[in-house]
Chain A
């Protein structure tokens, strides 16, 4: 059990599976025996909007949401969302970012442009950055929708949670027929995160 509260911020785009990833992480964190608090913060769209899940765990957790500048880890499912929520990350925190672009509507329609070199810029702003092509890894695992578990695998490397706890959390959160693909995606993320 960590002495302090560990704050993990999961950011992405509606439809990417951030909420399911947050559920797996929080179930795994429960194995530590302390408190876990989770907040899903999303807007009015089923899909396409900015989605944030905050997971906090430790011996004692009060507020279900963290303050800006206090996230120990930010797992970003999409680069632009990583930049949008970066102020939540500690300067010496870990940014795990899926090197994937999902252009928002203003970009699709030509009203705005997608910023260039976001990963490079963020790498200069935070101490630790791990960028990975989670979409490709998910494809290799057998399903493009498994991006979320690739990212959880990369995060798992850096958290004091046992592999057994992660696997139990996966099994209890994912329907049986998708379990093998998700386990494989998690493993690929774990290896990539080394």
Chain B
């Protein structure tokens, strides 16, 4: 059945047909109608998040959890969501994830006109640009498949004119896509530096594969006409070109990042003159120039404001008409010549300033420098060879580090209050949506109690997405963990989202009363400013309650029984809950506690204490040994020892 839909409704329809399960957004013109439409489909969970960052984090949690998901926002919203986006590009997805960026050329209701295709390029993810509602729907469906095929989020870039214009759409049936399995993969979803480094290589390999795909996909198509003039265009600009320049050959790009090098080169070479017509920034044009292709674009087409058919006629059309008036739409050509149509701005047609030319002397100098370059390089090589003969060349002591040399990964300090919480989380085999800070080290052996870490503040949004993808029963097994400083940085909005949108998850705030990872800086919860002046102290319990959490517990991080009991109670609760596990950072302690020692008679050599991953604890072969210099006296090892062989120094005989 064909019906007239605005692009946003076509997008919602396409996402629904593609088996979408989870969608989140913060309203922003011109993207708002997407969630409004999705919220009407019973098969889709759609929510308003407190901001775009949380919306994307919820979508990320859902995608990792195996459900096709979508986050929609206006262009400036992506600025707010850029933090998770850049790392999402590294982790990739499980089920498909579409990020809708609805840009607003012409600032109909925005504070700027930014061109978000640069975000796709920055994140190295595919960017799709539909040109009407039908394409919006088709590309939305394709975006999910593409994302799953290449394990990448996909940006679907609309502009106001696409998002809010009606055009016919053929609707189809919903395809139920089964939930993908959730598999814990810390190397893929916990972006510690060591894992992130490896994933960056994956991103680069993926870009190469996407390039190959871009060459052959029907998203990019050539419409041959007069071969004297070619136009490369995308999105709404395609419609303006087709209207104003009916006689020219057109390369319509549906996939504008990455750009298919062979296809564009072939097209540019097949026409006598090639123009690039795109709205806002020279995004495609700059990439063509970087390929060494001679094209004309922003010298003619304005970079400011919304594009239109008349602007295309006035700019490119005026040039093309000199060659053959028949290439330009006669009505538009007449209007353009008459100057009766409104202009888009000062940078049109012949009003543009001339390109400043190099002066004769500058040009001569430039040429001389280029000619001299090889000679300079050769002289440098000669000099080095000569030196090597006269002086001993510095030679490295050993060219390689032995492959079997044990690594020295960063780890939680002796006495770290986070250690016990992660020990319990591992014991309870919970799914842990983590965050950025010392506690990210809960992902490393032997604790390995973390499933995801996307960006600062993402833990609860991801936990929420996992719940919405896999259901409230799965949520019984999910906790978010976040530090006190990070909670105040950007964790509060995630908690607010969970309360507002009926999540039932548990957030553990690992409160060590400082910003530990970076060297113990103060924050609004410490009661001091950067200059160490007294300041109002933000109260985490009150904040959690103020955000609407009714279940708030405070536990002693070192009291493993209390930590375990609290986690079991709160994960079982069918409403949002917060556990504040509190103990100051071990490095802040002024006085050292009495150390612990091992009673050799009692030690069973069970090695349970090693599961804590405490650097002060090791095995000498037959029994546990505690390094008295490193031991901080936290006593966690004594609590996990089943034989009660570990005791506080001075209490050995107790």
Contacts and interface: CB of A to CB of B under 8 A. Distances in A.
Interface string B387-411: 0000010111111111011111111
A84 B404 CA distance: 11
B465 interface: no
B516 A46 contact: yes
A111 B400 CA distance: 22
A50 B193 CA distance: 14
Given A48-B408, A80-B406, A80-B408, A87 B397 contact: yes
Interface string A72-110: 000000001101101111111101000000011111111
A69 B395 contact: yes
Interface string B431-449: 0000000101100111000
B397 A125 contact: yes
A115 interface: yes
B617 interface: yes
Given A89-B397, A125-B398, A48 B405 contact: no
Interface in A46-64: 46-50
A144 B629 contact: yes
B280 interface: no
Residue from the set B401, B407, B516, B519 with the largest chain A CB neighbour count within 10 Å: B407
A43 interface: yes
A104 B407 contact: yes
B517 interface: yes
B587 interface: yes
Contacts of A109: 445-446, 610, 613
Nearest to B629: A144
Contacts of B411: 45, 47-49, 105
Contacts of B445: 105-106, 109, 111
Contacts of B618: 103, 107-108
A63 to B, nearest CB: 15
B401 A108 contact: no
Interface string B165-207: 0000000000000000000000000001100000000000000
Given A43-B410, A70-B394, A90-B396, A80 B613 contact: no
Contacts of A44: 192-193, 410, 440-441, 517
Contacts of A95: 397
Instruction: Report the interface size class on chain A.
Output: 35 or more
Interface in B360-409: 392, 394-402, 404-409
A49 B405 contact: no
A41 interface: no
A68 interface: yes
Contacts of B410: 14, 43-45, 48-49
A114 B395 contact: no
Interface centre among A47, A87, A93, A95 (most CB of B within 10 A): A47
A126 interface: yes
A86 B401 contact: yes
Contacts of B392: 92
Contacts of A68: 396
Nearest to B192: A44
19 contacts: A43-B193, A44-B410, A45-B410, A46-B438, A46-B519, A48-B411, A48-B615, A70-B394, A84-B405, A84-B408, A90-B395, A92-B392, A92-B395, A93-B397, A95-B397, A105-B411, A108-B618, A109-B613, A126-B397
A162 interface: no
Contacts, number: 129
A112 interface: yes
B276 interface: no
A172 interface: no
Interface of B: 192-193, 392, 394-402, 404-414, 438, 440-441, 444-446, 516-517, 519, 587, 607, 610, 613, 615, 617-619, 629
A13 interface: yes
Interface of A: 13-15, 43-50, 68-70, 80-81, 83-84, 86-93, 95, 103-115, 122, 125-126, 144
A132 to B, nearest CB: 18
A144 B414 CA distance: 17
Interface-centre pick from B193, B396, B399, B441 (highest chain A CB count, 10 A): B396
A46 B587 contact: yes
A110 B607 CA distance: 10
Nearest to B401: A84
B588 to A, nearest CB: 11
Contact of B397 (A15, A48, A90): A90
Contacts of B610: 108-110
Contacts of B607: 110
Given A106-B409, A108-B613, 10 more contacts: A44-B410, A46-B517, A46-B587, A69-B394, A89-B397, A103-B618, A106-B406, A108-B610, A125-B398, A144-B629
B570 to A, nearest CB: 29
A122 B45 CA distance: 62
Contact of B441 (A45, A84, A86, A108): A45
A49 B408 CA distance: 6
A49 B517 CA distance: 13
A50 B396 contact: no
Contacts of A14: 410
Contact of B395 (A81, A91, A111, A144): A91
Interface-centre pick from A89, A105, A106 (highest chain B CB count, 10 A): A105
B605 to A, nearest CB: 12
Given A105-B445, A108-B617, A109-B445, A87 B408 contact: no
A113 B402 CA distance: 13
A27 B173 CA distance: 73
A83 B405 contact: yes
Which 9 pairs, one residue from A and one from B, show the smallest C-beta to C-beta distance?
A69-B396, A45-B410, A49-B410, A112-B406, A104-B408, A89-B397, A48-B411, A108-B618, A91-B395
Contacts of A113: 406
A89 B396 contact: yes
A100 to B, nearest CB: 11
